[in-house]
Amino acid sequence: MGASDFSKLPHIGEALRRKEDYRFLTGAGQYTDDVVLAAQSHAVFVRSPHAHARINSVNTDAARAAPGVLGVFTGADVAADNINGLPCGWLITSTDGQPMKEPPHPILAQGKVRYVGDHVAIVVALTQQQARDAAELVEVDYDVLPAVVSVADAAANSVAGAALHDIAADNHCYKWAIGDKGAVDAAFAGAAHVTKLDLVNNRLIPNAMEPRAAIGSYNRATEEYTLYVSNQNPHVERLLMTAFVMGLPEHKVRVIAPDVGGGFGSKIFLYAEDVCLTWAAKKLNRNIKWVADRSEAFLSDAHGRDHVSHAEMALDKDGKFLAMRVHTDANLGAYLSTFATAVPTILYATLLAGQYTTPQVYVEVDAWFTNTAPVDAYRGAGRPEATYLLERLVTRCAWDLGLSQDEIRKRNFITSFPYQTPVALQYDVGDYHACMTQAQALADVAGFEARKSASAAKGLLRGVGYSSYIEACGIAPSNIAGALGARAGLFECGEVRVHPTGSVTVFTGSHSHGQGHETTFAQVVAARLGIPVENVDIVHGDTGRVPFGMGTYGSRSISVGGAAIMKALDKIEAKAKKIAAHLMEASDADIDFSGGEFSVRGTDKKIPFGQVALTAYVPHNYPLDKLEPGLNETAFYDPTNFTFPAGTYICEVEVDPATGATRVDRFTAVDDFGTIINPMIVEGQVHGGLVQGIGQALLENCVYDRETGQLLTGSFMDYAMPRADDFPEFKLGHVCTPCTHNPLGTKGCGEAGAIGSPPAVINAVLDALRPLGVKDFDMPASPHRVWEVIQNAKA
């Protein structure tokens, strides 16, 4: 079935309430901490208090003797059991042809600790309190070493003695580049105008509502392990843990990620704690639970962003972009987290053409180790960093040339598709002018000057900021990603199990941790089979029940996971038509299927889907010589390209120059997500993304002490999470250019808000401050920073 026929089916585009919400809102969800296994014991991790230190010794005697303690293990035990370090899932090759530096990432520190929160020992006891008390008794003798925490300091090599890993004495992991440098340099040489900008993309700490948690379990009769874990991709977790770290056969390990209370990327990765619990479960023959407290989450979840960049755009006299060049220093933290290396390269630099026809783009990235928590994918992963840089630069170009923010964008928009960018990606479809036009209308841009005057009358400054983002969802295809360094496939699986009574259970390798898949995937299946949505259940998050899948990240689930289900439904429909043909004594080729009924073309003969389902399982009148009984099909789908959601966001802020306080007064987002399955869920996804993106722009900022490497923003007292009253009511609009290469026509919507919004906010703040002579500042636009730039501009 083609995407345009699909979009016309009932339930597609219907704002159904989420099926899963009854469970969540009535406290009947089953999060990892809700799982209680027999004779469950509890683990606490001893973590490094230092950013960088040599471990002389770890004395666990007192801890082992403490009440209730079942076991205490350290890096030495890990080494003795030949447990490997955590692997990195993406190999980057440096510009000199050398592979990136890939230092060991032990699950418990061996010889050294490299960030505050690094794992030193695991203590297991009968109760959590006993484990906590015993953890206090573990004595670690450290020699503190100099720490390097900022990417600027790492790049400048300015902290003597702060080499984290033996194989990277200069803390440099890789230098990577994309684009034609010669062509870019030539274009700059002939340009009428060059705009330059330095930017910092602030480091963020993901804060899912449910902190990470895991339970390790081992059955010595069957030699099987079970890991319950708050995770976004259980099969990937199992594959990495078994094949790379523990050397176990995959079929002896089951990973179950039941309800997960948010992930935002930070639960894609294989974490040390998960392996420790699985390993220790066998050693102690106990079920062992660990639940991070919020302070631990701040210290040890993989962080996001943390780029320092210099960007330049070459333009002709009419404001057309001729070429762009960018250098970025990326902070990877102390170790390579699972997908860390792909974020500042493949997921970032390839997006830097944006929505524009810039003929040449050259991007160079240096990636550095620092004494901070590992940095990896966080909602948007590379695309927010690209969009922030590009959309800030484009607005600066406009102001440098005396053009408006919309005019410069319109002059450079790509208008014909497919479009091959100079940085590898090929956009299949889009309508960027339509997004801009609709956004300007919804934002009432025409009324801006009047609102600005009204603000001025109150002593306030008003500014408007634009951002026309593009992003790439559903990383694909596997073979090209493999050639670019991916060490994993990027397909998805779907199994459709039709029951004898005609109801359906669908098993998907995608994972839902807040995105509403139980509803939207059911809408897809119900629409195709012509059955009620209530008759479809979606199962995810269990390697024991679901075929091998890649999980959820990169807003891929509906476009890749949904497409796999569509393929399985094609098989179901083809087989069901044969059964229907037999029942109605017609030829297979004459059977039509729509609205839940099979009919013989040109006749009034028809039978319902349920009758075919029953016949498949009660095959009394059945072509058993030609067809197997049953109606149960599995499909794997490997996309041929990314999907490319895009849109224009317009933000209006009011700044109080006396205090620096900034208030987002209006925010308009017009997105193109192709075909929309459930507009209410999509709206919720956009709202959530906007809150995270605007949060980055105004409030959130992870700060480590530059000398000691202590995390200064280690709690909600110091790390400003956005709250509902920080935002106005968002105005949303949609343009629909269906994706051309998946059967649903969908593009991902889960990250767009977080990608497009930060530059819209900062451009708005800068627009408000322009009359004062302020040209630049870095996120977040906290009152202190805004007030400071205003004072500096006055001086």
Positions that interact with ligand MCN (CB under 6 A) = 262-265, 379, 513-517, 520, 552-559, 673-678, 681-682, 685, 688, 746-751
Q: Which residues pair with 54 in a beta bridge?
A: 112, 143
Question: Is cis: bond before 106, omega within 30 of 0?
Answer: no
Closest distance of CB 555 from ligand MCN, Å? 4
Of 75 and 674, which CB lies nearer to ligand MCN in the complex structure?
Answer: 674
3-state secondary structure of 46: strand
Least gap, CB of 271 to ligand MCN (angstroms): 16
Minimum CB distance to ligand MCN smaller for 515 or for 701: 515
**136 SS3 class:** coil
Coil, strand, or helix at residue 449? helix
Q: Strand ranges (DSSP E) for 481-535?
A: 492-498, 504-508
- In the bound state with ligand MCN, the residue whose beta carbon lies nearer, of 6 and 174, is 6
Q: 92 CB contacts (<8 Å, ≥6 apart)?
A: 99, 100, 173, 174, 176, 341, 342, 345, 367, 485
CA–CA dist 618, 564 (Å, integer): 28
The distance of closest approach from Cβ of residue 335 to ligand MCN in the complex, given in angstroms and rounded to an integer, is: 21
Residue nearest to ligand MCN (CB): 514
Instruction: Report the residue number, 395 or 523, with the smaller CB distance to ligand MCN.
Output: 523
Give the whole-angstrom CA distance, residue 171 versus residue 153. Answer: 10
The dihedral through the CA atoms of 184, 189, 194, 197 has a sign that is: positive
Nearer to ligand MCN, 74 or 559 (CB): 559
| CB of residue 692 to ligand MCN, shortest distance in Å | 9
CA distance 118 to 91: 24
Record the tokens describing residue 606, joined without a space: 């028809």
What is the nearest approach in angstroms of ligand MCN to the Cβ of residue 237? 16
For 411, the token pair is 């002059």
Cα–Cα distance measured from residue 363 to residue 188, given in angstroms and rounded to the nearest whole number: 14
Cβ at position 251, least distance to ligand MCN in Å = 27
Q: CB of 410: closest distance to ligand MCN in angstroms?
A: 26
Minimum distance of ligand MCN from residue 511's CB (angstroms): 8
- Give the DSSP letter of residue 447: G
Of the pair 226, 341, the CB lying nearest ligand MCN is at 341
Secondary structure (DSSP) of 680-738: HHHHHHHHHHHHHHHHHHHT----B-TTT--BS--STTTS----GGGS-PPEEEE----
Min dist CB 266 to ligand MCN, Å, is: 8
Euclidean distance between CA atoms 665 and 668, whole angstroms: 10
Minimum distance between the CB of residue 682 and ligand MCN, rounded to whole angstroms? 5
CB of residue 751 to ligand MCN, shortest distance in Å: 5
What's the closest the beta carbon of residue 624 comes to ligand MCN, in angstroms? 38
Reduced to 3 states (helix: H, G, I; strand: E, B; else coil), residue 623 is coil
CB-based contact 794:771 (threshold 8 Å)? no
* Size of the chain in residues: 795
Q: How many angstroms separate the Cα of 656 from the Cα of each of 139, 456, 652, 653, 786?
A: 52, 10, 14, 10, 9
- Closest listed residue to residue 384, CA positions, set 424, 412, 344: 344
Backbone angles phi, psi at 749, to 5 degrees: -125, -5
H-type alpha helices, 222-352: 234-239, 272-284, 294-300
Alpha carbon distance 241, 250 (integer Å): 9
Nearer to ligand MCN, 253 or 476 (CB): 476
Query: In the complex, what is the shortest distance from the CB of residue 174 to ligand MCN, in angstroms, rounded to a whole number?
Result: 24
Shortest CB 109 distance to ligand MCN, Å = 29
Decide whether 125 or 677 has the Cβ nearer to ligand MCN: 677
Q: Closer CB to ligand MCN, residue 216 or residue 750?
A: 750
Compute the distance between CA of residue 407 and CA of residue 199 in angstroms, rounded to an integer: 23
Q: 162 or 690: whose CB is closer to ligand MCN?
A: 690
**Of 224 and 683, which has the nearer Cβ to ligand MCN?**
683
CB of 55 to ligand MCN, least distance (A): 35
Looking at the Cβ atoms of 71 and 748, the one nearer to ligand MCN is 748
Residues 400, 329: Cα–Cα separation, whole Å: 26
Which C-beta is closer to ligand MCN: that of 348 or that of 598? 348
Of 384 and 657, CB closest to ligand MCN: 384
Q: Give whichever of 120 and 749 is closer to ligand MCN, judged by the CB atom.
A: 749
* Measured CA distances, 608 to 10, 534, 595, 598 (Å): 17, 17, 9, 6
Strand bridging mode 253-256 / 224-229: parallel
